[in-house]
Amino acid sequence: MGKPRDSSFFWEQVEIIENACWMWKGSRTTGVEYGIYYDGKRTYLAHRYMWQIVNGDIPRKMCVLHTCAFLLCCNPEHLYLGTAKIAAQDRMKRRKQKSPWSKLTEDDVRYILRSSDSHYDLSLRFDISMQHVRQIRNGESWLWIYEEYLESESF
């Protein structure tokens, strides 16, 4: 285990432009493109890390959402807290996809994210569409669990 890095390492990776999006210049996730920040000890999503620097801890089950359309943006003025429901609506507006995910529990979603089974096997196991499995794995639905999952992974 390393020591947490000084937060200057975080700021070095943010391109700050007044009254505009602050682009994350460091690593990114695959699928939904979020910035990833590794502080020497654990991994964070860059926009969530920024929100926490400015506002403190993120309440459970809340997502850090963007008012801009740019998920790599870390400008705290473009970030807001939303419930999973708002996150889903936000995402649907952006992607225009239906996400009938009410059958699943949070633990099911965690299982799907950790599983190496095929989309097909998981769709049979949970009685959901393959498209829905794909959406979960891409963070297009159940965003708050996806974020939790990404932060628990080591990249």
| Binding site residues, Zn ion, CB under 5 A | 21, 68, 70, 73, 75, 78
C-beta closer to Zn ion: residue 78 or 110: 78
Nearer to Zn ion (CB atom), residue 50 or residue 88: 50
Is the CB of 22 or the CB of 126 nearer to Zn ion? 22
**Min separation Cβ 131 and Zn ion, Å:** 29
Nearest distance, CB of residue 51 and Zn ion, angstroms? 13
3-state secondary structure of 41: coil
Taking the complex as a whole, how short is the minimal distance between the CB of residue 140 and Zn ion, in angstroms?
20
Nearer to Zn ion, 82 or 133 (CB): 82
- Give the count of beta carbons closer than 10 Å to the beta carbon of residue 124: 13
DSSP letter string, 62-129: -EEEESSS-TTB--GGGEEEE-HHHHHHHHHHHH------TT--HHHHHHHHH--S-HHHHHHHHT--
Q: Smallest gap, in angstroms, from Cβ of residue 75 to Zn ion?
A: 5
Angle between helices 143-152 and 106-114 (to 10 degrees): 50
Q: How many CB atoms lie within 10 A of CB 36?
A: 20
